[in-house]
Copies of this chain bind each other. A is one copy, B any other.
Amino acid sequence: MKCELKKVKQYEIAELVFKGGEPEGSAVTVDLQAVFSHGEKAVTVKGFYAGEGVYKVRFLPEETGTYPYCVTGSVLDGPMKGALEVMPAEEGCHGIVRANGTHLQYEDGGWYYPFGTTVYALMHQSEPLIEETLDTLSKSPFNKIRTCVFPKHYSYNLNEPANYPFLPKAGAAEKIFSGEGLPVYPQEIKERDDYWDVHRPNYVFWDHMEKYLLQLQEMGMQIDLILFHSYDRWGFSNLKPEDDLVYLDYLMRRFAAFPNIWWSLANEYDLCFNKCVEDWEVIEAFVAEHDPYGHLLSNHNCFKRWDPGRKNITHTSWQSKQFYRISEMMRLYGKPVLIDECRYEGNVPEVWGNLSGKDMTRNFWRTTVQGGYCTHGETFLPGTKEGEKATRTGEKDVVWWAKGGRLNGESPARIAFLKEIIESLPGPLEPLNGRSGWFGKDDDEILEICAQAQEGFRVFLKRIVWMDQRERDNFYSVEFQYGGHCDDRAFLYYRDDQCCAMTDLELPKDHSYQIDVIDTWEMTRKTVLHGASGNVRIQMPGKKYMAVLALREDID
């Protein structure tokens, strides 16, 4: 056995490579692990088999200095000891992103503001198409991508992948790849399939995936890696429960040391009809326990939100158009809120994929000004959008949200404009609800405020208590006032669909502000006032999609 150490820098994967024989029995649950120590901390990581007699142990050093390690396992002739000398991080390497309250922060302390996009079946496309997608991403505002491990079967996404994550069991291939194929979504399946030998990974698949995960990492992209989904004709959504865990074991051994991976247990977990809530709880616990680093971990819904209050869930990954409930979610769970699906910009017949560029942009603003984070997707039918950029691969039917390629929508430029504003602020935004916030509060809370409120406002609040929750939701969902602030240094208001000719701001009385009027669609920003404080009325152009930014002037 030979150990080869490739790289030792903070926030980058350190890899111990061993040569050996083929594993006996499972090629997943190989007996190879290492303990890395640093001061009083010790981290145990499991190794994996990479094919062709190669075993690897991967470790992510999160600090600089010496990390003594000890590798053990029947794969080796005996325990191997050594030490990593971890050098300071390269510029551009910031470490793992973790939740800090309702926001996200790199390990090196910098805030991370996700501006995500969605390319579900990226890894299952041709290499030229993947390269083109990465090129598009590199020129886009996006710094996070939602993408699946397993291939995807769904409208606009029916191509056969070149490779599969495991080898099929004897005789199964005929069934899986028969003309008839396996039952596809939606399905109510009583028994689990037994087609794939999850103990025999297909290394071509994993090498291919790894190559692009690494490229994405070099580009600074966070990867919200989707571990399961229901849109399937090969049976990956219907593995036996114990096989789900073997698959995850391999994935975690191999990818957990990647600094930029997040675990998304599923895309639309509640449409995986053959998994029940208990199955998801087992999967969630397995991922949390087998991840030595505590990467971000969530579960994405179609209909029913996965409980963000669960111990192992680090953030809300929410398919929702309830932008007015973002601050409620923050208050309830104290975790970051990501609107990870809110319809896509495009023109398909399906309602989930035919938003205008204006409305996709609107969703980003509604989410972002409150300190939430929004995810983009694009679903133009190929050849239907005027002036469309064709993919260089010449492949037909390439829809970004499914396969990648080129972006044709109008929202990415506006998302870039928003991102620039957000990144220029002194810190992350906290929600600023104004009166519409009252509709999201508990009765007790409202009545308590009532007791101290002015007479007229007290009556208003009592009327809210009179409404049931359903009435309150429905009332304030449309008239919600979107805004956020960084303490008293910045206030950002989004006026949404309001065509106001003037608008009122309530600023702190004891500070002085510069007021900028922002056209979120035309991407203009104009300073209209200096020295503003207290209640201010601002002239507005009477158009939709306007925002106002108030920045404190009386600080250095």
- The chain A residues found within 8 Å of chain B, CB to CB, are 185-188, 270-271, 273, 302-305, 320-322, 325, 343, 346-349, 351-352, 354-356, 359, 380-381, 384-385, 455-460, 463-464, 466-467, 469-471, 473-475, 477-479, 481, 497-504, 537, 542, 544
Contact B474–A325 (Cβ < 8 Å): yes
* With A186-B459, A455-B187 as contacts: A303 and B499 at CB distance below 8 Å: no
CB-nearest residue of chain B to A186? B456
Contact B356–A455 (Cβ < 8 Å): no
Contact A351–B455 (Cβ < 8 Å): no
Which residues of B have CB within 8 Å of A303? 463-464, 466-467, 471, 475
Q: Can you show 13 pairs from A to B with CB atoms below 8 A apart?
A: A186-B456, A188-B456, A303-B466, A304-B463, A321-B474, A321-B479, A347-B501, A348-B501, A354-B498, A354-B542, A380-B501, A381-B501, A469-B470
Contact A542–B459 (Cβ < 8 Å): no
Contact B349–A537 (Cβ < 8 Å): yes
* With A351-B479, A474-B477 as contacts: A455 and B322 at CB distance below 8 Å: no
Report the bound CA distance from A351 to B481 in whole Å. Answer: 8
Which residues of B have CB within 8 Å of A359? 497
Question: Which interface residue of A271, A381, A477, A542 has the most chain B CB atoms within 10 A?
Answer: A542
Which residues of B have CB within 8 Å of A504? 349
Contact B188–A459 (Cβ < 8 Å): yes
CB-nearest residue of chain B to A435? B351
Report the bound CA distance from A542 to B185 in whole Å. Answer: 28
Contact B460–A186 (Cβ < 8 Å): yes
Contact A351–B498 (Cβ < 8 Å): yes
Contact A500–B349 (Cβ < 8 Å): yes
Report the bound CA distance from A186 to B462 in whole Å. Answer: 12
CB-nearest residue of chain B to A381? B501
* With A354-B500, A464-B303, A499-B354 as contacts: A474 and B349 at CB distance below 8 Å: no
Report the bound CA distance from A349 to B540 in whole Å. Answer: 9
Q: How far is the CB of A88 from chain B (nearest CB, A)?
A: 48
Contact B304–A471 (Cβ < 8 Å): yes
